[in-house]
Chain A
Amino acid sequence: MSIVDYLVIYSLIVIWITVFMNVILVISGYIYYSKINNEQMDEQLKDYPFISILVPAHNEAVVIKKTVTALLELDYPKDKYEVIIINDNSSDNSAQILQEMQRNYEERNLIVINTDNIIGGKGKSNALNIGLEKSTGDILAVYDADNTPDRKALKYLVQTLIKDKSLGAVIGKFRCRNKDRNLLTNFINIETLTYQWMAQAGRWNLLSLCTIPGTNFVVRREIMNEMGGWDTKAITEDTEVSFRIYRMGYKIKFMPLAVTYEQEPETIKVWFRQRNRWVKGNIYVVIKNLKYLFNTKAGVTRFDILYYTLVYFFFLSASLISDFIFILGGANLVQIHIGGYEVILWFMALLVFILSVMVAISTEKGELNFKNVLIILLSYFTYCKMWAIVSVAGFYNYIRDIVFKREVKWYKTERFS
């Protein structure tokens, strides 16, 4: 057998393992959806713990007013939560907007921390740590600066957390606010829904495992204090924190009834930069936690290490190899000597992909429509390939940063008015 044959077998094995793993997660996610659909949430809590909502914001003038307004109007006793905006070394007029809002909401616990480039400007983790220091709540909630949470989101997150002492954090669901802006936002909308119902709900139902998404979550203050805050070297601080919470013996639960709406990238350039950061950040987290793969104390996080390794290293390499061999084979430059390697397999993979995504989006009202089915089909040939490119670029940048000992920079996603 030639090297090409071995590569084909490698890509076939990896792709199908990932496909079947995702099939199981989608089905598991749907089972969780059915459970949660019948769950009754308390509209009134016996006890309302004091909550500190942390909002890191760097040059967020375009969206910050809407976000703060939404946070101040949450269905939670006004004296039982504070909103801390960490205006992190912004060069726009965020500070003026926030100052004006403080004047307008004088009676409310709205705290604005303006940082300069000496103590601030070092990324989201650093901003969150500054907010953590200032906060007084027993429970911390984190929202990104472009979020518009549902009024009941915080109440649902908090009640889920306080009901179960084994939970270290509870994460909510995020929806794409600008999904109908263009094809890219349509792709992202479907991607975010699928990720949440497959990876988050599926893993929670199957393994009681979730990853903090970076926004719309609550976490116990004592945990954050114990772990010394967020890791400032991590550019995907959410994933990094999740691993540490699990290693401390706590769990993270997915509560999809707590919804927030956020703005997604509207241009390829912004999308590429954001995803490039995610890839780099997740590679950092996987490598940092790889040593726990064979450590029984790491518990279910070992599945996450395995899952991330499978997706970021094996699946993407297999997908790229498969595409390259397809192109070279089409040009008659390589030959495959493998029996039973039929088009039906590729067709099956496509069908499984389309139907699994359809199942994931069917959990959201009005999302399972003909337009979205076409977008799913299109995404297989376009958006998925874009992901492959961004992953290669992210991997390359990660290696480059290591080799040249470059300082890890946190790219703030550009907002759209």
Chain B
Amino acid sequence: MIYKNKFLIYKIIVILICFITTSFFTGSIECRAETNKENLQSKGEIYFYLDNVTPFNSLNNLIDEIDYLKDNGIQFFIEASPIFVNQDLKAMGRFAECLRYAQANEGKVILKFPIINSKGVDGESVSGQLIREKVKVAFNNYTNYWVYPVGMSVNESLLYREDLKNLLECTDTLFLDSQDNLNIDMNNYTIKSYDNIIQKINVDDYIKNNKINIYDKSAICVESDCNFQEFKKNVDKILNKEIILTANNRLNSYMKFDNEVKSNSKGIFFNNEDVTQQRFISEEEYKNAFVKEDSKEENLVKKDLTLSNKMIEIVSTVALLIFLIILVLSKNIERKRFFK
């Protein structure tokens, strides 16, 4: 009896301790949530942006960077340079594989606006139409590799080029490299009302408040093309400052040429087909899928049993009806037998 009571007392003490601990943590989480809310309200939406990702970067380093972001629970945007040529090279496959790895680990790809030389190779000035064609090639090239750009990164000054308007309107999401000294008379220009204008701010500038953030959405840019330790240091700066980063799936966006990529909280959609990558698709799997796709095309003439199955259904229904009638008859026979 004594032991039984003792056991009961221990049990009550344990439950009390659990209750107090839970209350304490719940309280502190609520407190923190309040603080975070205040931060978010004061600074708007802040995204993480992995800047300057090109096929020429160390891809192993890039994978380490993605892993580090994943380990710290950071959802991020990753900037990818446009590729117009040599898209069939192995290097392209490897680069796309890294970008798919990023996509599978909470990353969303942003297409970088191409670098424009003032004159083309033939000495002629580069027209907006030509640039559009090139960007479209780059976009299609990525989507062919199952990399889905959801917005574009562009220098602020290009927003005001008339010949590029048509190109920039292919998306509703622009990450801006803002320029403080834009020598432009704003009154002479009209630009489309974009859903998402996100100002890119270098991590150090952001922390030191060197940059005036005029938009309600901003992206803290961390350089990708550096050694991993430096990258880590930069990311840690954000983490140590306890900056609340906005999840990238909160941003609804699209990018559209002939094909359309849409991004929202439900995932990524390519021509309205869900292409959200829940897991990493390796180069091998990607290639095999194409082999399967080819064989699928060969097998386009699938066997359609709809007609014969309909026949089976009709005959089965008739059989079932006959059975039901027989069962009713049987019940009557049995009842008669019972009353005999």
Contacts and interface: CB of A to CB of B under 8 A. Distances in A.
Interface of A: 1-2, 5, 9, 12, 16, 19-20, 23, 26-27, 30, 37, 337-342, 344-345, 348-349, 351-352, 355-356, 358-359, 362-363, 365-366, 368
Contacts of A344: 313
B323 A359 contact: yes
Contacts of B259: none
Given A362-B330, A365-B334, A9 B305 contact: yes
B303 A342 contact: no
Rank and list the top 5 A-B pairs by shortest CB-CB distance, nearest first: A340-B306, A362-B330, A339-B304, A355-B323, A348-B316
Contact of B333 (A37, A337, A366): A37
Nearest to A23: B319
Given A339-B304, A358-B327, 20 more contacts: A338-B302, A338-B304, A338-B305, A339-B305, A345-B313, A348-B313, A348-B317, A351-B316, A352-B316, A355-B320, A355-B327, A356-B323, A359-B326, A359-B327, A362-B327, A363-B330, A365-B337, A366-B334, A368-B330, A368-B334
Interface residues of B, number: 27
Interface of B: 299, 302-310, 312-313, 315-317, 319-320, 322-324, 326-327, 330-331, 333-334, 337
B331 A339 contact: no
A68 B312 CA distance: 51
B303 A352 contact: no
Contacts of B310: 340
B71 to A, nearest CB: 30
A362 B331 CA distance: 8
Contact of B312 (A338, A345, A355, A363): A345
Nearest to A6: B303
29 contacts: A1-B299, A1-B302, A5-B303, A9-B305, A16-B312, A20-B315, A27-B322, A30-B326, A338-B304, A338-B305, A339-B304, A339-B305, A340-B310, A341-B305, A342-B309, A345-B309, A345-B312, A345-B313, A348-B312, A348-B313, A348-B316, A352-B320, A355-B323, A359-B326, A359-B327, A362-B326, A363-B330, A366-B334, A368-B331
B302 A359 contact: no
B335 to A, nearest CB: 11
Contact of B305 (A20, A37, A340, A351): A340
A5 B295 CA distance: 14
B313 A358 contact: no
A341 B308 CA distance: 10
A9 B327 contact: no
Contacts of A340: 304-310
Q: Choose among B302, B305, B313, B333 the residue with the greatest number of A CB atoms under 10 Å from its CB.
A: B305
B327 A1 contact: no
Contacts of B323: 26, 352, 355-356, 358-359
B331 A2 contact: no
Contacts of B337: 365
A340 to B, nearest CB: 3
Contacts of B333: 37
Nearest to B330: A362
Nearest to A2: B299
Nearest to B316: A348
A30 B324 CA distance: 13
A345 to B, nearest CB: 6
Contacts of B302: 1, 5, 337-339
A27 B326 contact: yes
A339 B302 CA distance: 7
B297 to A, nearest CB: 12
B305 A12 contact: yes
A363 B214 CA distance: 87
A37 B304 CA distance: 46
B315 to A, nearest CB: 7
B336 to A, nearest CB: 10
A30 B309 CA distance: 27
Nearest to A345: B309
A24 to B, nearest CB: 9
A1 B303 CA distance: 8
A366 B338 CA distance: 10
Nearest to B338: A365
B170 to A, nearest CB: 36
A365 B336 CA distance: 11
A356 B321 CA distance: 11
B330 to A, nearest CB: 4
A5 B306 CA distance: 15
Nearest to B312: A16
B8 to A, nearest CB: 44
Given A37-B333, A345-B312, A339 B299 contact: no
Nearest to B318: A23
Given A16-B312, A363-B330, A365-B337, A355 B324 contact: yes
